Each structure stands twice: as structure tokens, then as C-alpha cells.
């Protein structure tokens, strides 16, 4: 008896080339979105940057201008490079501006419902070949991808803060992500002069799985009175040779983002060792989010910033 084990398939499908990413759309013009726009524009890529808040867009453009100005002063780039890069960035509050982009990189607030609502709202404006990437620090790429109309073109592209300085990009495939999408993102990272590390799709991936519980532990040490803010940060800077203390680093990342990551780890891994410190919860509830709100474990209205405990 003749059994056709592979009906309809006579040969393996031909390898598909990764799509070229020539024009980038970014959602979220906060610290990460503005940093990603900065490096993409300097690499010669036109960027369309979208935020719900028009003032976030104005602020992002002035931060990018200031940060590129610093690179000019340090002779990392020329004044012409800066002018050309700034001219490549356009801003909008309307997803219709994404009609021609080849990749949308989402860098909005670290909340799953916010991100899902963004993807739902923007996909009707995209061409069918457009790839989607999330800069999420912790949320499942498989779950986010499944909530869109193109799970196979959905991937995690996790930049580090500050984006123009930090060399690493974590790349995270969801279960449905296809190989051309993965290769296209690797090619883009190379174009941006970044080194990639591939992480499996587990809560918080590699860097934040290790880093954010350390910050949470530092907040517990403060909460339990083991040391003051400056004693904890000085200990880790001079005793462990970290460039920044963990509380200073939490303020730099954003305490709301740190709390969201701890919640994802706690719920995603069902392990009490990831319980967010109640003091971290209280700071976020108070709106003390770190540098971006002017106060966290340090008061940034003082120069130099003054420890608050």
C-alpha cells in the first residue's frame, strides 16, 4: 500500500529572506521610546514616533536633541550627523502615520492591558508585511503576539536604558514567531551597532530576571531598616563594584516599571521570593516613580539628589 505521509507537500518550502526594515514606527515617547528613536535615526532610518500625550512627543524631541548635542560635544558624531538624524524623526498622535512603516516597536507603559489595547488600535493602520516588536521588560511575548493579527511577525526586542549608551538588546521569540522576523530583528540590531542575546520567553527574560529582584531586595533592606538609602547604595557601589547603587538604579529605571516587573515575576513564576516589597508599592502609589517624576529614593529637585530616607 502506498501511504502519502506528506500529502500536498512535494518538497520543503524555499527559505524566505528576512524582510528589510527601512522605516520604523515607535509607540511611546518616554525614556525608552525616545532613546530608540535616537539610535534608529542616527543609523539612517526614518522614524515615526507616536504617543498619546502630545507633550511627551515635544519632550522626547528636546531630549533627543540634547543627548545628540552631548555626542557632538564628545566628537562621537558631527553636527551634520545630528541635524540629519533629527530631520529623520517625525511625530504624531495618530496611528494612520504608521501606514508605510516596516516595523512598529512598542515602548509604552509596562502594563499588559495598555500594550494589548495599543496593538489592537494600531494594526488596522499597518501594511500586512509590517513586523511588530515590543520593548516590554517582562510581559510574555507569546501572549502579546497572540492578541494581535500577526503572531508570526511578533517579537520581543528589549533595549537597555539609556539606549544610546547600552550595547545589549535582548531578542525574545514568542512560540509563533517565524524565522524571517527573528532574522530581520537581528539584522536591525546589527545596523544599530548593538549586540544581541537571545532569551526564551520566560517572565522578565534574562537581564531583569536577575536585576530587578536585586533592586526589590535593596528596597526590602531599606524597609527593614538594615541600612539607609545612602548606606545601601554606597555598599553596592564600593563593595560590589556596581556603577550605580540598586536604589539609584531603581529610580533611574522608574519605580513603576520595577514594580510591574516584580508583579510579572511573582505571578508568572508563582514563587514568593519575587513578592514586591510593600515599600516599593507605597512609593508607586504615592507617585514617587524616581527620576522621571522628580522623587523616588532620592529627591531630584536638589543638586546633588538627596536621599529621602
Question: With respect to ligand NAD, which residue has the nearer C-beta, 30 or 213?
Answer: 30
**Quick one: which of 201, 115, 99 has its CA closest to 155?**
201
Part in contact with ligand NAD (CB under 6 A); list of ranges 110-118, 180-188, 271-279, 299-307? 110-118
Could you say whether residue 21 binds ligand NAD (CB under 6 A)? no
Q: Tell me how far, at minimum, the Cβ of 36 lies from ligand NAD, in Å.
A: 9
Part in contact with ligand NAD (CB under 6 A); list of ranges 66-74, 103-111, 187-195, 223-231? 103-111
The only residue of 26, 68, 89, 118 in contact with ligand NAD, by rule CB under 6 A: 118
The only residue of 254, 290, 296, 307 in contact with ligand NAD, by rule CB under 6 A: 254
Part in contact with ligand NAD (CB under 6 A); list of ranges 21-29, 215-223, 239-247, 296-304? 21-29
Spatial contact of 92 and 70, defined as CB atoms under 8 Å apart: no
Residue 118: left (phi > 0), alpha (psi -120 to 50), or beta? alpha
Q: Is 75 noted as a catalytic residue in this protein?
A: no
Distance CA 171, CA 155 (A): 7
Q: Where are the beta strands (DSSP E) in 131-276?
A: 131-134, 154-159, 168-173, 195-199
Q: Is 137 noted as a catalytic residue in this protein?
A: yes
Helix (H/G/I), strand (E/B), else coil: 54: helix
Helix (H/G/I), strand (E/B), else coil: 108: coil
Distance CA 156, CA 30 (A): 18
Q: C-alpha cell of 38?
A: 535616537
The only residue of 92, 161, 228, 293 in contact with ligand NAD, by rule CB under 6 A: 161
Per-residue contact flags (x/-) with ligand NAD for residues 23 to 62, judged by CB under 6 A: ----xxxxxxx-----------------xxx--x------
The only residue of 102, 110, 248, 251 in contact with ligand NAD, by rule CB under 6 A: 110
The only residue of 92, 109, 147, 186 in contact with ligand NAD, by rule CB under 6 A: 109
Q: For residue 65, give the H/E element and its range.
A: helix 54-73
Q: Is 2 noted as a catalytic residue in this protein?
A: no
Q: Tell me how far, at minimum, the Cβ of 301 lies from ligand NAD, in Å.
A: 19
Q: Is 208 noted as a catalytic residue in this protein?
A: yes
Q: Tell me how far, at minimum, the Cβ of 224 lies from ligand NAD, in Å.
A: 26
**Quick one: which of 80, 38, 93, 79 has its CA closest to 61?**
38
Would strands 168-173 and 195-199 be described as parallel, antiparallel, or unpaired? parallel
Part in contact with ligand NAD (CB under 6 A); list of ranges 76-84, 94-102, 159-167, 178-186? 159-167
Helix, strand, coil % (nearest 5) of the chain? Answer: 45, 15, 40
Distance CA 37, CA 164 (A): 10
Spatial contact of 117 and 111, defined as CB atoms under 8 Å apart: no
Active site residues: 137, 158, 170, 208
Binding site for ligand NAD (CB under 6 A): 27-33, 51-53, 56, 107-110, 114, 118, 135-137, 158-161, 253-254, 257, 292
Amino acid at each position: 500500500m502506498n501511504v502519502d505521509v506528506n500529502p500536498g507537500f512535494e518538497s520543503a518550502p524555499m527559505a524566505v529572506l528576512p524582510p528589510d526594515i527601512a522605516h520604523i514606527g515607535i509607540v511611546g515617547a518616554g525614556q525608552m521610546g525616545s532613546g530608540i528613536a535616537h539610535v534608529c535615526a542616527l543609523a539612517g532610518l526614518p522614524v515615526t514616533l507616536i504617543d498619546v500625550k502630545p507633550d511627551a512627543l515635544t519632550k522626547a524631541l528636546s531630549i533627543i536633541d540634547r543627548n545628540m548635542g552631548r555626542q557632538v560635544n564628545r566628537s562621537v558624531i558631527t553636527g551634520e550627523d545630528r541635524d540629519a538624524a533629527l530631520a529623520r524623526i517625525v511625530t504624531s498622535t495618530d496611528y494612520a502615520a504608521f501606514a508605510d512603516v516596516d516595523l512598529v516597536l512598542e515602548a509604552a507603559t509596562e502594563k499588559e492591558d495598555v500594550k494589548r489595547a495599543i496593538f489592537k488600535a494600531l494594526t488596522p493602520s499597518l501594511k500586512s508585511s509590517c513586523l511588530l516588536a515590543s520593548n516590554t521588560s517582562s510581559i510574555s511575548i507569546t501572549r502579546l503576539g497572540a492578541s494581535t493579527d500577526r503572531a508570526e511577525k511578533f517579537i520581543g526586542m528589549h533595549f537597555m536604558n539609556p539606549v544610546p549608551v547600552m550595547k545589549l538588546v535582548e531578542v525574545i521569540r514568542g512560540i509563533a514567531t517565524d524565522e524571517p522576523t527573528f532574522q530581520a530583528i537581528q539584522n536591525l540590531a546589527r545596523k544599530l551597532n548593538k549586540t544581541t542575546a537571545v532569551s526564551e520567553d520566560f517572565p522578565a527574560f534574562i537581564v531583569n530576571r536577575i536585576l530587578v529582584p536585586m533592586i526589590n531586595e535593596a528596597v526590602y533592606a531599606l524597609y527593614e531598616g538594615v541600612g539607609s538609602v545612602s548606606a545601601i547604595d554606597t555598599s553596592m557601589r564600593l563593595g560590589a563594584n556596581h556603577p550605580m547603587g540598586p536604589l539609584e538604579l531603581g529610580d533611574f529605571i522608574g519605580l513603576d516599571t520595577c514594580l510591574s516587573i516584580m508583579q510579572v515575576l511573582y505571578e508568572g513564576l508563582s514563587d514568593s521570593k519575587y513578592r514586591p516589597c510593600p515599600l516599593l508599592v507605597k512609593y508607586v502609589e504615592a507617585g514617587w516613580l524616581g527620576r522621571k517624576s522628580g522623587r523616588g529614593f532620592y529627591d531630584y529637585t536638589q543638586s546633588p539628589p538627596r536621599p529621602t530616607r
